[in-house]
Structure 1
Amino acid sequence: MAKKISKKKCPNYQFFIKPTIDALYQLGGSGANSEIYKKVIQIKKLPEDVIDEMHNFTMTEVEYKLMWARTYLKNYGAVENSKQGVWILTTKGVALAKQEDLDIKDIIRFTNNKKCTTKNHDSDFDSFNESKSWREQITDILLNMSPYAFEKLAQRLLRECGFSDVEVTKKAGDGGIDGTGKLRINGIFSFNVAFQCKRYKGAVGAPEIRDFRGSLSTNIEKGVLITTGSFTRAALEEASSEGKRLIDLMDGEDLINKLAEYGIGLNEVKSYEVDMDFFNSLNDD
């Protein structure tokens, strides 16, 4: 009996190449991954079932296809990215943004030809491929942690991010709050913050956001919800609803990136690739 192949609702990465350029152009020529993601969804008016489709435990299918699109555009010379993860339109990219009929096939052809002759270790997708193994490992660890261990990890991360007086709530009946802390900005402004941790394989929805907001006491100015999964479109909208207390969100990809940034449970390993052409050339007469 033939195995049934599930059809993805999300369009292929080629579909996202022009919207990525348009998103960066509309964002003023630069933008973080999250900003590009939101702007592309807005530009293409993607339906909720496409937005919420998961590629793996921590990444949606749209995020995955956008990563491919950025890689092709970078190899084409239309975008570049900073060490801080900000993507910038180059002069070539600005010119592409102004074209009504963009030749997507030319961009793909150029990149594929470049792959045959060069190695680009700085591309978004190359970085993902090189780190895929450790990302899978850390994702598995996070999903199999005890709830209290995951809360302690969140406590450590928030401290590294500049929070102080971070405490994990141990008592039962805490109303969904897993911990509290203070965030001081520029040494002047301070906020009382409560956080909640959810070890999800899928997506956190709007009801969870509403429940968390409802558990916040009057002395809490900000709420942070941290998950190993992702957030549905409805959850993103609910978290930033006008007239309600804003809830900051950290999904699985953001969480893993922050763990890597601060070296929490992750040690950077550098390696080298042997250039055989160089050594062989020494033997030439």
Structure 2
Amino acid sequence: MQRKPAHVATIRKDDFYVPTLQVLRDLGGSASIEEIEEKLIDRFGFTQADLDATYPTSGDNIITDKMSWARSYLKFPGFVANDSRGVWVLTEAGRLAVDQPLETLRQRIRSAKAARRAEQLKAKASSLVLDPAEEEADEAVAGWSDLLLAKLQSIEPAAFERLCQRLLREHGFTRVEVTGKSGDGGIDGQGVLRVNLVSFHVLFQCKRYKGSVGASTIRDFRGAMQGRADKGLVITTGTFTPDARREATRDGAPAIDLIDGEALCDLLREVGLGVVVRPVTTYEISVDQAFFDEV
């Protein structure tokens, strides 16, 4: 029996705390976002109608958005980490927390979040001013990629399209054009990628999302590019639902490559677009006790 959209709206990020830790444990201690979300969807029994439910104002997907918030909050007390590209890891603290009551996890997350906020205010670590209208955006910032995504999500859609255009050029594309035509099946631009002696005509779509891109978007995009290009590419600041990833690689249909928010941050970092990487030198200093014994 299908649940009403109102039921989906009552789901909280807290509801995903323990299940996310359990899924990571069951998957051997590490997993991609796609794997985590797919297992959570199965565990909660969400229907396609549930997954398609969006916030009235932003249009973001409710379920995957709250899954994302849960992962971010679990980072505060060090239950999970995502230092590697696209991979989330269950830490030793997370393994110990799996069997704890939800209220205990909530308290530990609140305490860790408050401690982090105090450190940030004291050190004035961040120079990025986030939109105060975003209720929780400032609270869940846990690293440079989170700050970068917050900034990307605040710029105008046309500016994001131009940034994607430049990013593709920096990564070897030529003749990159932003079309931005309305009613063109979501196609935002095109370019040519040369690999050794072979060139591919690529159509791309840019989605400045905070939630997840669904399978219907991928289907519509494929339909629009049919017969017009060799490859398709969808770039988003958010994530892709498991159904969207399956649709992108569906047998018998032209494959579409997907770049989610985390991968986008890494691609920008690699070419230095909007990201400054400065090497840091550290020293380990100790006292030579033997020296003073001989003075």
Partners of 2:86 and 2:262 within 8 A in 1: no
Per the alignment, do residues 268 and 217 of structure 1 end up closer, same or farther by CA in structure 2, a change over 3 Å counting? same
1:185-204 to structure 2, matched below 5 A, reads: 192=200, 194-198=202-206
Superposition RMSD in Å: 4.6
Query: Aligned residue pairs: how many?
Result: 250
Q: Which residue of 2 aligns with 1:157?
A: 167
My pick for the range that moved more, 174-183 or 26-35, is 174-183
1:142 aligns with 2:156: yes
| Contiguous gaps of at least 5 residues in structure 1 | 1-5, 271-285
Q: Which residue of 2 aligns with 1:108?
A: 106
How many Å apart are 1:19 and its aligned residue?
A: 1.7
1:197-216 to structure 2, matched below 5 A, reads: 197-198=205-206, 206=215, 208-214=217-223, 215-216=225-226
Per the alignment, do residues 120 and 24 of structure 1 end up closer, same or farther by CA in structure 2, a change over 3 Å counting? farther
TM-score scaled by structure 2?
A: 0.61
TM-score scaled by structure 1?
A: 0.63
Letter in 2 for 1:22: Q
Q: Which residue of 1 aligns with 2:43?
A: 43
How many Å apart are 1:12 and its aligned residue?
A: 0.9
Letter in 1 for 2:204: Q
Which string of whole-angstrom CA distances, capped at 9 and with x for unpartnered residues, describes residues 4-29 of structure 1?
xx886251122101221122224331
Q: 2:242 and 2:78 mapped to 1: Cα distance? A: 31
Q: 1:171 and 1:16 mapped to 2: Cα distance? A: 37
Q: 2:164 and 2:272 mapped to 1: Cα distance? A: 14
The percentage of counterpart residues that share the same residue type is 30
1:74-113 to structure 2, matched below 5 A, reads: 74-82=75-83, 84=85, 86-97=87-98, 99=99, 102-113=100-111
| Contiguous gaps of at least 5 residues in structure 2 | 1-5, 126-137, 279-295
Q: 2:179 and 2:77 mapped to 1: Cα distance? A: 52
1:11 aligns with 2:11: yes
Per the alignment, do residues 207 and 11 of structure 1 end up closer, same or farther by CA in structure 2, a change over 3 Å counting? closer
1:226 aligns with 2:240: no
How many Å apart are 1:127 and its aligned residue?
A: 1.4
Partner of 1:179, secondary structure, is: strand
Partner of 1:182, secondary structure, is: strand
How many Å apart are 1:182 and its aligned residue?
A: 1.8
Partner of 1:153, secondary structure, is: helix
Which string of whole-angstrom CA distances, capped at 9 and with x for unpartnered residues, describes residues 70-127 of structure 1?
3443344432331645321123433555x4xx411111122334455564669x9541
1:249-264 to structure 2, matched below 5 A, reads: 249-250=258-259, 253=261, 257=265, 261=269, 262-264=271-273
